[in-house]
Structure 1
Amino acid sequence: MTAILFIIGLNLCLGLIYCRYYLRSLSLNIEKPLQFISILFGFAAAGCSLIVGSLLDHYLLSDSIVYKAFFLSSLVEESFKLVFIIFLFRNNRIDYNLSDGIVYAVFLGLTFGIIENILYFQELEFWSLIFRTVTSLPFHLMTSGILGAYTVMYLNSNKQNYPFVYLWKGLLFTYLLHGFYNYSALALHERMIYIPVILILAFVTLEYFVTKSKVIPPKSILDAINLKFDDYHLRSIFKKQNAWLRMGQGLVKRKEISLFLKISKEKLFYIGILFSITTFFFIIFLAYPLTIYILFPSIQITEYECIFLDYPFFIMVSLLLAGSINPKFFQDRILKVPSVNAVRLENDIFYENSVVFHFSGKFFYTPLNAPELLRGNLSVSFWIYGKEFSKRKGKVVWFNSSEISSTDAGAMVQLEEIPLREILFWYYGRFLQNLKNFFRTFRFVRKRKSRKGD
């Protein structure tokens, strides 16, 4: 009885710590009824995944680790989490801001993880339960937060622009991450060293969305300027890549923006304490291995490594990265070299030649001198990496009249249809260009080093 109370208490304490961190990071005042509903949905998702998983295990018997890791557990659990997150967001008036989507999905994932850990009480030994608590609980919490972010993108994107892609991307990423986590746990000492790496990857991904939520306007502001999430993202890419070209031409000086913010002394203090504790347990592991069984009876050496060495390492890295990524870096810094392709838009009275940097399904944003003249149905022709795709039908769906005279003036254009082969061709050309840019940069760095050596 004492053991199960300790496990429940440890789950609740860790869950409270992680939830408080994300609430503080996102600066949100949550709605208590909605928080309670999110917790209930976590119960429901855990129950459904348990029932379906048990039925599949009964009718599809297999001892394969790959089957258990990638199908029986990860696919079922991540699918049910996604289904209940979508149902939660659609039926409870969540404002569809990225920060809201992350937080309420985190509460759902927290409940899911706690329920799963408690259900394993009859099957696992004490130290195995500790291992599950300190690794699977934050893992479920973080993958749910990632699914919540992708769900918000899906719900707040143009319905004509294949928004379901966001759901597939979120599900595929969390499914693979969960599958590798399960495979590492089931393989025991052979693969358990990968678990902290998987946890760090999940944390960094969710931290990216947390940082992104700070630079994307709330849905209320996007609605006021008649833009959806994917429209704003597309326009942001245009502005960044246009700025990159202007800086490359020497028209604008580039601002030095650091990727990381300054780490506080308080955070360094906690990292130092964790490092000291981990070093102590590592010295015991190397120099006095028999002491481990005296201090922690019945523990396995792999469990000791994960609980006292690998997990503290994950916490140290998380503390180092938590809140340290500069949101302005994602807002102002150019992360990709633009792909410049020609485009021609024309109607019955006017035509204009321009460029296009990026495609998002049926939509693209292009700089124009007189977007207000391109009304009605348009004939759109592209020249993508030297290949012509002519006379696609489209229309201007948005332009900002306040920017008509500026260098950022332009319009959001929607095509009636764009063949998949053209989108794939654009991505193929984009990949080749990025590859060339990489090798050119590598050669440039080598030349600079050789000159300094001379």
Structure 2
Amino acid sequence: MEAAIAVAASLLIVALFFSYYFRNFVFKRSRFLQLRAFFLGVLSSGLTLVVQSALPETDSPLLRALFHAAFIEEGIRLLFLYILFRFSSRDFTVTEGIFEGVMLGLGFAITENVQYGLAYSGYVILLRAVSSVPLHVFASAIMGYYLAHADLCRIADTERGLVAGGQSNRARRFRLRGLGIFLPWGLHGVYDFCLLSGGRLVYLVPLLLIGAYLLVEYLIERGRLIFGRNVLTMLGINADDVDTLLRQKEYEKWLLDTQTVDEPEPRLLHLRVWPLHRTIAGLALCVLALALFLLYETKGAEAFAVLRIHHQASLISLLVLYPASVGLMLLLSGKINYLYVRNKMLRVPVPIRVRIFSDRGGGAEEAIALDLRPSGVFLNVMEDYERSDLLVLEFEPDKQLPVRILAQVHWSNLHNDMLPIGHILHFQRQTLRFVILRWKHLLRRLYRRLRPLAG
């Protein structure tokens, strides 16, 4: 009976998440192609069970959480997502990668909870059944974003047979894939460690899920700004170049102060629109959590003796914190401008002088860079450089030891006023001195924006 209730609760949560994310993503593809990741998630769960059964058991909660559970599960899901993305369509997008991550997580979660329901008894498995669904969804969505972003950072120039970005771009893709592995692994490992350790650590699980939800919503908003593979290939740029162009437009707008008086200022919260069904569901769950908490405070754990959950932290988490967390997620859905901090608060231009040397002769050209990206830089110069030209950039030329780096022209625009005028250059080999310069520039930009807020 307890196992059936746990599985039913898990199915209900899977259905809610499926409905929520399936409605938020629209792709011009057949239903089967949209749902293939879900069935692969079911398959990955079975494969995970086989691998875990072959591993030696350990009594250490930390080892069980990080390696026996999180590492194996996230590693197998990584393999399935990587295969999906490598054989994806020509119009593949980052948001499609997030969606397939969500579907893969849902398929994995429902199969895992059925397995737990058959293997264990008692209502205590409700705690895992209720919380594991969002955990797998969020972890897989985070993985999907970073793997898809890394895949779209490798856009080939079919005319010249080059890969955008050279060695710096390969390092950038490596870092993105690293984030796609270690962030879900860390999230999953901390979650399992809290449940396996028990006690008050269980209280951290709802906070962990809320934080993961906010991160996923932020990544969805970022992913929607990146063009699909077909558009990137047509333009000859990659996913990071799109971000570079968007940043450059914002920097130029900031410097020129082109905002009119009538233009509304961006806000952190959107509080004018409250969708009826989400608002009612969110408020209902919050009220339910409050009612159960008051019942627990007045009558104690005896009021819920039928659940046979003897740990206070587990009982309060199941009855109060989880419903309140889901209710809060529903109420926050669509209310937060996730790009506000990134665009309004942190993207502040900090100009840095650059001297450009080319093999054309005629002396060096002076320019101003407003940002240094991990893989390249945008320079607002009118020189008619050709794609794949190699230039030597000398940053902070007035200093006694200026920093030099080799860069390749990757994209140019000298005529279209709808886009920033200038060139995108990709760094070829980043020395330690240049990496230090890049980090110093980032810290100066953050300090410049945060200093007025602190004062």
Residues 342, 383 of structure 1: 8 Å contact kept:
yes
**In structure 2, what is the equivalent of residue 368 of structure 1?**
381
Q: RMSD of the alignment, in Å?
A: 2.9
Determine the structure 1 residue equivalent to 2:17.
18
Partners in 2 of 1:128 and 1:296 — Cα distance? Answer: 8
User: What's 1:452 paired with?
Assistant: none
**CA separation of 1:17 and 1:169: change in aligned 2, threshold 3 A:** same
- Of the candidates 188, 198, 202, which is equivalent to residue 192 of structure 1? 202
Q: Which amino acid aligns with 1:260?
A: L
Q: TM-score, normalised by structure 2?
A: 0.86
Give the alignment of 1:8-47 within 5 angstroms. 8-28=7-27, 30-47=29-46
**1:405-451 C-alpha deviation (Å, 9 max, x unpaired):** 689311111233122442244214422552464344312xxxxxxxx
Q: Unaligned stretches of 5+ in structure 2?
A: 155-162
Say which SS state the counterpart of residue 345 (structure 1) adopts: strand
Q: Does 1:182 align with 2:192?
A: yes
Partner residue of 1:446?
Answer: none
Match of 2:300 in 1: 289
1:273 matched to 2:272? no
Equivalent residue number for residue 237 of structure 1: 247
Pick closer, same or farther for the CA change 1:270–1:146 going to 2, 3 Å: same
Q: What CA distance in whole angstroms lies between the structure 2 residues aligned with 1:49 and 1:245? A: 53
What per-residue deviation string (whole Å, max 9, x for no partner) do you get for residues 222-263 of structure 1?
33322211111122222222322333xx88767501222234
Alpha-carbon shift at residue 49 of structure 1 (Å) = 2.8
Q: 1:77 to 1:339 in 2, by over 3 A?
A: farther
Matches within 5 A, 1:408-423: 408-423=420-435
Deviation at 1:265, TM superposition (A): 5.5
- 2:346 equivalent to 1:335: yes
Match of 1:70 in 2: 66
Superposed displacement of residue 10, structure 1: 2.7
> 1:240, 1:333 within 8 Å by CA — same for their partners in 2?
no
Q: Distance in 2 between matches of 1:302 and 1:94?
A: 49
For residue 321 of structure 1, what is the aligned residue in structure 2? 332
Match of 1:134 in 2: 130
Distance 1:116 1:273, change over 3 A: same
2:266 maps to which residue? 257
2:314 maps to what in 1?
303
The structural deviation recorded for 1:166 is 0.8
What is the aligned partner in structure 1 of residue 413 from structure 2? Answer: 400
Aligned to 2:108: 112
Aligned equivalents of 1:384 and 1:440: distance in 2? 29
2:157 maps to which residue?
Answer: none
CA contact (8 A) 1:342 1:356 kept: yes
Distance 1:127 1:289, change over 3 A: same
Alignment of 1:434 onto 2:446? yes
Aligned AA (2:76):
F
Identity between Structure 1 and Structure 2 (%): 21
User: Structure 2 vs 1, CA of residues 20 and 361 (structure 1 numbering), >3 Å: closer, same or farther?
Assistant: same
Q: Which amino acid aligns with 1:201?
A: G
> Which SS does the other structure have where 1:359 is aligned?
coil
Pair 293,5 (structure 1): closer, same or farther in 2 beyond 3 Å: closer
Contact persistence 1:25–1:323 (CA under 8 A): no
Larger relative contact order (Cα-Cα within 8 Å, sequence gap ≥ 6): 2
- Whichever residue aligns with residue 349 of structure 2, its letter is P
In the TM superposition, residue 140 of structure 1 has moved relative to its aligned partner by 0.2
Task: Compute the displacement of 1:274 (Å).
Answer: 1.8
Which deviates further from its counterpart, 368-377 or 62-71?
368-377
Change (3 A) 1:281 1:353: same
Post-superposition offset of 1:373: 7.4
* Structure 1 residues 380-415: Cα deviation after superposition (integer angstroms, max 9, x where no partner): 211299574455333311012433x68931111123
TM-score by length of 1: 0.86
Greater displacement, 228-237 / 197-206: 228-237
Q: What's the CA shift for 1:315?
A: 0.7
Q: Is the CA contact 1:381–1:388 (under 8 Å) kept in the aligned structure 2? A: no
Query: Post-superposition shift, 1:135?
Result: 0.4
Cα distance in 2 for residues equivalent to 1:23 and 1:122? 29
Pair 375,123 (structure 1): closer, same or farther in 2 beyond 3 Å: closer
Secondary structure of 1:215's counterpart equals: coil
Partner of 2:158: none
Distance in 2 (CA, whole Å) between partners of 1:164 and 1:367 is: 29
8 Å Cα contact 1:364/1:412 also seen in 2: yes
Q: Which 5+ residue runs of structure 1 have no aligned equivalent?
A: 444-454
State whether residues 392 and 415 of structure 1, in contact with CA within 8 Å, keep that contact through their aligned partners in structure 2.
Answer: yes
What SS does the corresponding residue of 1:398 show, helix, strand or coil?
A: strand
**1:388 to 1:396, Cα distance in 2 relative to 1, 3 A:** farther
**Mapped partners of 1:279, 1:125: distance in 2:** 28
What letter matches 2:266 in structure 1?
I
Report whether the alignment pairs 1:228 with 2:238: yes
- Encode CA deviations 1:254-310: one digit per residue, 9 max, x unaligned: 750122223416233333222221111000111111442345345643332122111
Q: Deviations over 1:345-371 (max 9, x none)?
A: 232145421122333344211211334
Match of 1:86 in 2: 82
TM-superposed CA distance for 1:221, in Å, is 3.0
User: Equivalents in 2 of 1:47, 1:243: separation in Å?
Assistant: 52
CA distance in 2 between partners of 1:70 and 1:8 (Å): 25
Give 3-state SS (helix, strand or coil) of 2:58's partner: coil
Alignment check: 8 A CA contact 1:394 1:416 kept: yes
For 1:373 and 1:91, how far apart are their aligned partners in 2? 32
Which range moves more in the overlay, 391-400 or 216-225? 216-225
* CA offset digits 1:14-52 (Å, max 9, x no partner): 212112211222234553332443133213322333333
> Aligned with 2:227: secondary structure?
coil
In structure 2, C-alpha distance between the alignment counterparts of 1:51 and 1:428, rounded to whole Å = 48
